[in-house]
Structure 1
Amino acid sequence: MTTRRAFLALSLAAPALALAPVGAALAQAPGPIGGIRVDVSRLVEQGWGEHARAIGAGLERELRTAFGGDIRRGGPTLVVSVRQVFLNSYAGNGGGGGRWGGGDGGASSDSFESQASLVGRGNRVLATYPVLSTVPASSAGPWYLPDIDKRRIENLIRHNAGWIKRYVAG
Protein backbone atom coordinates (compact mmCIF):
# COMPACT_ATOMS: atom_id res chain seq x y z
CA MET A 1 0.00 0.00 0.00
CA THR A 2 1.35 3.42 -0.96
CA THR A 3 1.17 5.93 1.81
CA ARG A 4 0.84 9.63 1.30
CA ARG A 5 4.35 10.13 2.69
CA ALA A 6 5.87 7.59 0.27
CA PHE A 7 4.02 9.17 -2.65
CA LEU A 8 5.26 12.63 -1.67
CA ALA A 9 8.84 11.43 -1.32
CA LEU A 10 8.70 9.76 -4.74
CA SER A 11 7.18 12.82 -6.39
CA LEU A 12 9.92 15.04 -4.93
CA ALA A 13 12.69 12.68 -6.04
CA ALA A 14 11.46 12.32 -9.65
CA PRO A 15 12.58 15.78 -10.87
CA ALA A 16 16.04 15.30 -9.36
CA LEU A 17 16.43 11.96 -11.13
CA ALA A 18 15.29 13.50 -14.42
CA LEU A 19 17.94 16.23 -14.12
CA ALA A 20 20.80 13.87 -13.24
CA PRO A 21 23.70 13.78 -15.72
CA VAL A 22 23.76 11.10 -18.42
CA GLY A 23 24.98 7.86 -16.93
CA ALA A 24 24.75 9.10 -13.35
CA ALA A 25 22.83 6.03 -12.20
CA LEU A 26 25.68 3.82 -13.37
CA ALA A 27 28.35 6.01 -11.84
CA GLN A 28 27.03 6.50 -8.35
CA ALA A 29 29.88 5.86 -5.97
CA PRO A 30 32.22 4.48 -8.66
CA GLY A 31 35.05 4.39 -6.18
CA PRO A 32 38.48 5.70 -7.01
CA ILE A 33 39.47 6.24 -10.61
CA GLY A 34 42.47 4.42 -12.03
CA GLY A 35 43.86 7.18 -14.21
CA ILE A 36 43.19 10.31 -16.18
CA ARG A 37 43.50 10.90 -19.91
CA VAL A 38 42.73 14.21 -21.66
CA ASP A 39 42.06 14.31 -25.40
CA VAL A 40 42.46 17.69 -27.13
CA SER A 41 42.47 16.40 -30.72
CA ARG A 42 39.32 18.35 -31.48
CA LEU A 43 41.03 21.58 -30.41
CA VAL A 44 43.97 20.75 -32.65
CA GLU A 45 41.54 20.32 -35.56
CA GLN A 46 40.04 23.72 -34.72
CA GLY A 47 43.47 25.34 -35.10
CA TRP A 48 44.54 25.78 -31.47
CA GLY A 49 47.94 24.20 -32.25
CA GLU A 50 50.38 24.25 -29.33
CA HIS A 51 47.77 26.00 -27.21
CA ALA A 52 45.66 22.83 -27.42
CA ARG A 53 48.46 20.77 -25.89
CA ALA A 54 48.91 23.36 -23.13
CA ILE A 55 45.17 23.25 -22.41
CA GLY A 56 45.29 19.44 -22.26
CA ALA A 57 48.28 19.45 -19.91
CA GLY A 58 46.67 22.11 -17.72
CA LEU A 59 43.37 20.21 -17.50
CA GLU A 60 45.12 16.95 -16.68
CA ARG A 61 47.17 18.66 -13.97
CA GLU A 62 44.04 20.30 -12.49
CA LEU A 63 42.13 16.99 -12.55
CA ARG A 64 45.00 15.17 -10.81
CA THR A 65 44.94 17.86 -8.12
CA ALA A 66 41.14 17.69 -7.84
CA PHE A 67 41.04 13.90 -7.50
CA GLY A 68 44.16 13.73 -5.33
CA GLY A 69 44.06 10.50 -3.33
CA ASP A 70 41.08 9.17 -5.31
CA ILE A 71 43.35 7.80 -8.05
CA ARG A 72 44.15 4.14 -7.51
CA ARG A 73 45.30 1.41 -9.83
CA GLY A 74 42.53 -0.84 -11.12
CA GLY A 75 39.73 1.72 -11.19
CA PRO A 76 38.10 3.04 -14.35
CA THR A 77 39.99 5.61 -16.42
CA LEU A 78 38.62 9.13 -16.55
CA VAL A 79 38.77 10.17 -20.21
CA VAL A 80 38.05 13.84 -20.86
CA SER A 81 37.58 15.08 -24.42
CA VAL A 82 37.85 18.84 -24.73
CA ARG A 83 35.32 19.83 -27.37
CA GLN A 84 35.56 23.60 -27.52
CA VAL A 85 37.11 26.61 -25.83
CA PHE A 86 35.57 30.02 -26.50
CA LEU A 87 37.17 33.25 -25.35
CA ASN A 88 34.92 36.24 -25.79
CA SER A 89 36.55 39.20 -27.49
CA TYR A 90 35.51 41.59 -24.70
CA ALA A 91 36.79 41.08 -21.18
CA GLY A 92 35.88 44.38 -19.54
CA ASN A 93 33.29 44.78 -16.85
CA GLY A 94 29.78 43.89 -17.90
CA GLY A 95 28.50 47.44 -17.74
CA GLY A 96 25.31 48.21 -15.99
CA GLY A 97 21.65 48.34 -16.65
CA GLY A 98 20.71 46.28 -19.62
CA ARG A 99 17.15 45.22 -20.24
CA TRP A 100 16.88 43.26 -17.01
CA GLY A 101 18.76 45.69 -14.83
CA GLY A 102 22.17 44.11 -14.44
CA GLY A 103 25.20 42.88 -16.32
CA ASP A 104 25.35 42.10 -20.00
CA GLY A 105 23.41 38.85 -20.09
CA GLY A 106 26.53 36.70 -20.32
CA ALA A 107 27.76 38.41 -23.48
CA SER A 108 31.28 38.72 -22.06
CA SER A 109 31.62 35.17 -20.77
CA ASP A 110 34.18 32.58 -21.78
CA SER A 111 33.19 28.93 -22.12
CA PHE A 112 34.85 25.53 -22.01
CA GLU A 113 33.02 22.46 -23.26
CA SER A 114 34.18 18.95 -22.46
CA GLN A 115 32.88 15.43 -22.12
CA ALA A 116 34.08 13.29 -19.25
CA SER A 117 33.68 9.52 -19.46
CA LEU A 118 34.52 6.75 -17.04
CA VAL A 119 35.94 3.89 -19.07
CA GLY A 120 36.27 0.46 -17.50
CA ARG A 121 37.87 -2.78 -18.58
CA GLY A 122 37.49 -3.67 -22.23
CA ASN A 123 36.92 0.02 -23.11
CA ARG A 124 33.40 -0.20 -21.72
CA VAL A 125 31.95 3.25 -21.07
CA LEU A 126 30.48 3.22 -17.57
CA ALA A 127 29.22 6.81 -17.48
CA THR A 128 29.40 9.99 -19.53
CA TYR A 129 29.10 13.56 -18.31
CA PRO A 130 28.83 16.50 -20.72
CA VAL A 131 30.29 19.57 -19.00
CA LEU A 132 29.90 23.17 -20.13
CA SER A 133 31.66 25.76 -18.00
CA THR A 134 30.91 29.43 -18.41
CA VAL A 135 33.02 32.00 -16.57
CA PRO A 136 32.88 35.80 -16.81
CA ALA A 137 35.79 36.93 -18.96
CA SER A 138 36.49 39.73 -16.51
CA SER A 139 37.11 37.27 -13.64
CA ALA A 140 40.72 36.83 -14.79
CA GLY A 141 41.52 40.47 -14.12
CA PRO A 142 41.91 43.61 -16.23
CA TRP A 143 41.80 43.02 -19.99
CA TYR A 144 45.03 44.93 -20.58
CA LEU A 145 47.31 42.57 -18.62
CA PRO A 146 49.83 40.87 -20.92
CA ASP A 147 48.90 37.33 -19.79
CA ILE A 148 45.12 37.84 -19.72
CA ASP A 149 44.27 35.09 -22.24
CA LYS A 150 46.39 32.57 -20.34
CA ARG A 151 44.65 33.52 -17.08
CA ARG A 152 41.21 33.27 -18.69
CA ILE A 153 42.00 29.77 -19.97
CA GLU A 154 43.35 28.74 -16.56
CA ASN A 155 40.08 29.94 -14.96
CA LEU A 156 38.08 27.87 -17.44
CA ILE A 157 40.24 24.80 -16.86
CA ARG A 158 39.89 25.08 -13.07
CA HIS A 159 36.13 25.57 -13.31
CA ASN A 160 35.64 22.67 -15.73
CA ALA A 161 37.82 20.33 -13.64
CA GLY A 162 35.79 21.22 -10.56
CA TRP A 163 32.53 20.27 -12.27
CA ILE A 164 34.04 17.04 -13.61
CA LYS A 165 35.14 16.11 -10.09
CA ARG A 166 31.68 16.93 -8.77
CA TYR A 167 29.92 14.77 -11.39
CA VAL A 168 32.30 11.82 -11.18
CA ALA A 169 32.73 11.73 -7.42
CA GLY A 170 28.98 12.08 -6.88
Structure 2
Amino acid sequence: MRGAALALGLAASGGAARASDFPSLNGERFADVRVDVRPLIAQGNGPQAEALRADLTAALRRSFADRLGGRGPSLVVLIRGLSLRPYAGSDRAGRGFGGGTQNDYLEGEALLVGRRGEILGRHPQLTATPSSFGGAWYDPASERRRVTAIAEIYAEWLRRQLPVD
Protein backbone atom coordinates (compact mmCIF):
# COMPACT_ATOMS: atom_id res chain seq x y z
CA MET A 1 0.00 0.00 0.00
CA ARG A 2 2.94 2.30 0.70
CA GLY A 3 4.04 1.86 -2.93
CA ALA A 4 0.62 2.84 -4.22
CA ALA A 5 0.66 5.98 -2.06
CA LEU A 6 4.10 6.85 -3.43
CA ALA A 7 2.90 6.29 -6.98
CA LEU A 8 -0.14 8.47 -6.48
CA GLY A 9 2.05 11.18 -5.01
CA LEU A 10 4.23 11.00 -8.12
CA ALA A 11 1.15 11.11 -10.32
CA ALA A 12 -0.02 14.29 -8.65
CA SER A 13 3.38 15.90 -9.15
CA GLY A 14 3.81 14.78 -12.74
CA GLY A 15 6.04 11.75 -12.10
CA ALA A 16 8.64 10.45 -14.51
CA ALA A 17 6.31 9.03 -17.17
CA ARG A 18 4.83 11.15 -19.95
CA ALA A 19 1.10 11.44 -20.65
CA SER A 20 -0.19 8.62 -22.86
CA ASP A 21 3.00 6.65 -22.20
CA PHE A 22 1.63 3.21 -21.33
CA PRO A 23 3.92 0.30 -22.17
CA SER A 24 2.90 -3.19 -23.18
CA LEU A 25 3.02 -5.79 -20.41
CA ASN A 26 4.67 -8.30 -22.77
CA GLY A 27 2.38 -11.10 -21.73
CA GLU A 28 2.39 -10.32 -17.99
CA ARG A 29 -0.86 -9.91 -16.13
CA PHE A 30 -1.77 -7.04 -13.83
CA ALA A 31 -1.22 -7.88 -10.17
CA ASP A 32 -4.28 -5.88 -9.19
CA VAL A 33 -6.71 -3.15 -10.23
CA ARG A 34 -7.50 -0.26 -7.91
CA VAL A 35 -9.49 2.96 -8.16
CA ASP A 36 -8.46 6.10 -6.28
CA VAL A 37 -11.20 8.71 -5.82
CA ARG A 38 -9.44 10.84 -3.20
CA PRO A 39 -9.51 13.92 -5.47
CA LEU A 40 -13.33 13.65 -5.65
CA ILE A 41 -13.59 13.20 -1.90
CA ALA A 42 -11.42 16.30 -1.41
CA GLN A 43 -13.92 18.20 -3.59
CA GLY A 44 -16.74 17.22 -1.22
CA ASN A 45 -18.19 14.35 -3.27
CA GLY A 46 -17.77 11.65 -0.61
CA PRO A 47 -20.80 9.34 -1.01
CA GLN A 48 -20.93 9.72 -4.78
CA ALA A 49 -17.15 9.14 -5.00
CA GLU A 50 -17.43 5.96 -2.95
CA ALA A 51 -20.24 4.70 -5.18
CA LEU A 52 -18.09 5.47 -8.23
CA ARG A 53 -15.12 3.66 -6.68
CA ALA A 54 -17.22 0.51 -6.17
CA ASP A 55 -18.80 0.65 -9.65
CA LEU A 56 -15.56 1.42 -11.48
CA THR A 57 -13.58 -1.22 -9.60
CA ALA A 58 -16.17 -3.86 -10.49
CA ALA A 59 -16.31 -2.69 -14.11
CA LEU A 60 -12.51 -2.73 -14.45
CA ARG A 61 -12.30 -6.21 -12.94
CA ARG A 62 -14.84 -7.43 -15.53
CA SER A 63 -13.20 -5.61 -18.44
CA PHE A 64 -9.69 -6.77 -17.55
CA ALA A 65 -10.59 -10.22 -16.15
CA ASP A 66 -8.32 -12.02 -18.60
CA ARG A 67 -5.41 -9.70 -17.77
CA LEU A 68 -5.58 -9.92 -13.95
CA GLY A 69 -4.04 -12.24 -11.41
CA GLY A 70 -0.39 -12.04 -12.34
CA ARG A 71 2.81 -10.81 -10.78
CA GLY A 72 3.09 -7.79 -13.05
CA PRO A 73 2.47 -4.16 -12.17
CA SER A 74 -0.85 -2.87 -10.84
CA LEU A 75 -3.38 -0.84 -12.77
CA VAL A 76 -4.43 2.14 -10.67
CA VAL A 77 -7.13 4.46 -12.01
CA LEU A 78 -6.96 7.89 -10.44
CA ILE A 79 -10.24 9.78 -10.87
CA ARG A 80 -9.95 13.55 -10.91
CA GLY A 81 -13.40 14.64 -12.02
CA LEU A 82 -17.00 13.49 -12.18
CA SER A 83 -19.62 15.81 -13.58
CA LEU A 84 -23.27 14.80 -13.69
CA ARG A 85 -25.19 17.47 -15.56
CA PRO A 86 -28.73 18.48 -14.69
CA TYR A 87 -31.01 16.35 -16.81
CA ALA A 88 -34.37 17.68 -17.87
CA GLY A 89 -35.40 15.73 -20.95
CA SER A 90 -35.04 16.72 -24.58
CA ASP A 91 -33.75 20.05 -25.86
CA ARG A 92 -35.90 23.16 -26.42
CA ALA A 93 -36.74 22.29 -30.00
CA GLY A 94 -38.33 19.05 -28.85
CA ARG A 95 -35.78 16.83 -30.56
CA GLY A 96 -33.04 14.79 -29.03
CA PHE A 97 -32.31 11.27 -27.99
CA GLY A 98 -33.94 11.21 -24.59
CA GLY A 99 -31.58 13.69 -23.01
CA GLY A 100 -31.04 16.57 -25.35
CA THR A 101 -27.47 17.73 -25.34
CA GLN A 102 -26.70 17.09 -21.67
CA ASN A 103 -23.68 14.85 -21.02
CA ASP A 104 -22.01 13.41 -17.95
CA TYR A 105 -18.21 13.34 -17.76
CA LEU A 106 -15.66 11.16 -15.96
CA GLU A 107 -12.04 12.27 -16.04
CA GLY A 108 -9.16 10.17 -14.84
CA GLU A 109 -5.82 8.64 -15.54
CA ALA A 110 -4.77 5.00 -15.68
CA LEU A 111 -1.41 4.46 -14.01
CA LEU A 112 0.77 1.41 -14.45
CA VAL A 113 2.38 1.08 -11.02
CA GLY A 114 5.41 -1.11 -10.38
CA ARG A 115 6.02 -3.17 -7.25
CA ARG A 116 8.08 -0.42 -5.61
CA GLY A 117 5.45 2.20 -6.35
CA GLU A 118 7.12 3.67 -9.41
CA ILE A 119 4.91 4.85 -12.25
CA LEU A 120 5.79 2.86 -15.35
CA GLY A 121 3.16 4.41 -17.59
CA ARG A 122 0.09 6.59 -17.67
CA HIS A 123 -2.91 7.07 -19.88
CA PRO A 124 -5.31 10.01 -19.35
CA GLN A 125 -8.93 9.47 -20.34
CA LEU A 126 -12.09 11.55 -20.46
CA THR A 127 -15.39 9.74 -20.95
CA ALA A 128 -18.66 11.43 -21.85
CA THR A 129 -22.08 9.80 -21.80
CA PRO A 130 -25.56 11.19 -22.36
CA SER A 131 -27.20 12.14 -19.08
CA SER A 132 -30.20 10.08 -20.18
CA PHE A 133 -28.29 6.83 -19.58
CA GLY A 134 -29.70 6.78 -16.04
CA GLY A 135 -33.27 6.66 -17.24
CA ALA A 136 -36.04 9.10 -16.43
CA TRP A 137 -34.70 12.24 -14.75
CA TYR A 138 -37.53 12.29 -12.22
CA ASP A 139 -36.69 8.79 -10.92
CA PRO A 140 -34.77 9.17 -7.63
CA ALA A 141 -32.45 6.29 -8.65
CA SER A 142 -31.50 7.96 -11.95
CA GLU A 143 -28.37 9.69 -10.66
CA ARG A 144 -27.04 6.48 -9.14
CA ARG A 145 -27.61 4.64 -12.43
CA ARG A 146 -25.75 7.41 -14.27
CA VAL A 147 -22.70 6.85 -12.07
CA THR A 148 -22.85 3.11 -12.80
CA ALA A 149 -23.26 3.70 -16.55
CA ILE A 150 -20.32 6.08 -16.85
CA ALA A 151 -18.11 3.72 -14.81
CA GLU A 152 -18.96 0.84 -17.16
CA ILE A 153 -18.25 2.88 -20.26
CA TYR A 154 -15.01 4.27 -18.81
CA ALA A 155 -13.76 0.73 -18.09
CA GLU A 156 -14.71 -0.53 -21.55
CA TRP A 157 -12.94 2.36 -23.30
CA LEU A 158 -9.88 1.99 -21.11
CA ARG A 159 -9.65 -1.67 -22.09
CA ARG A 160 -9.72 -0.63 -25.76
CA GLN A 161 -7.13 2.12 -25.33
CA LEU A 162 -4.42 0.24 -23.42
CA PRO A 163 -1.85 -1.85 -25.32
CA VAL A 164 -2.80 -5.46 -25.95
CA ASP A 165 -0.03 -8.02 -25.63
When normalised by structure 1's length, the TM-score is: 0.75
Structural mapping, 1:1-170, within 5 Å: 22-24=20-22, 26-27=23-24, 29=26, 31-94=28-91, 96=93, 107-170=101-164
Deviation at 1:144, TM superposition (A): 1.3
CA drift of 1:107 comes to 4.2
Q: How far apart are the structure 2 equivalents of 1:53 and 1:85? A: 12
Decide which structure has the larger Cα Rg and report it.
1
Letter paired with 1:54: A
Tell me, in whole angstroms, the C-alpha distance in 1 between the residues paired with 2:149 and 2:88: 13
- Does the 8 Å contact 1:27/1:126 carry over to 2? no
Structure 2: 5+ residue runs without aligned partners?
Answer: 1-18
- Residue 122 of structure 1 aligns to a residue in which SS? coil
The letter for the 1-side match of 2:154 is: N
Residues 1:29 and 1:159: Cα distance change in structure 2 (over 3 Å) = farther
Deviation at 1:29, TM superposition (A): 4.7
- Structure number with greater CO (CA < 8 Å, separation at least 6) is 2
Unaligned runs of 5+ in 1: 1-20
Partner SS for 1:88? coil
Q: CA–CA distance in 2 between the matches of 1:166 and 1:46?
A: 29
| Distance (Å, rounded) in 2 between the aligned partners of 1:29 and 1:144 | 48
Query: Aligned-pair distance for 1:42?
Result: 0.6
Q: Distance in 2 between matches of 1:33 and 1:95?
A: 47
Offset from partner CA, 1:52-87 (integer Å, 9 cap, x none)? 112111111111111113112311100111111001
SS in 2 for 1:131: strand
Aligned residues: 144
Q: Which amino acid in 1 is paired with 2:36?
A: D
Q: Find runs of 4+ consecutive structure 1 residues off by over 6 angstroms.
A: none
TM-fit CA distance, 1:149 = 0.2
**Sequence identity of aligned pairs in percent?**
34
Name the structure with the higher helix share.
1
Distance in 1 of aligned mates of 2:77 and 2:116? 18
Give the Å deviation of 1:27. Answer: 3.0
Deviation at 1:22, TM superposition (A): 1.1
Give the 3-state SS of the residue equivalent to 1:62 in structure 2: helix
Is the 2:28–2:71 Cα contact (8 Å) retained in structure 1? no
Instruction: Kindly state the Cα deviation for residue 169 of structure 1 after the two structures are TM-superposed.
Output: 4.4
Asked if 1 retains the 8 angstrom alpha-carbon contact of 2:35 and 2:77, the reply is yes
The residue type paired with residue 115 of structure 1 is E
Q: Which amino acid aligns with 2:156?
A: G
Asked whether the equivalents of residues 84 and 131 of structure 2 are also in contact (C-alpha less than 8 Å), the reply is: yes
After TM superposition, give the deviation of residue 97 of structure 1 in Å: 8.3
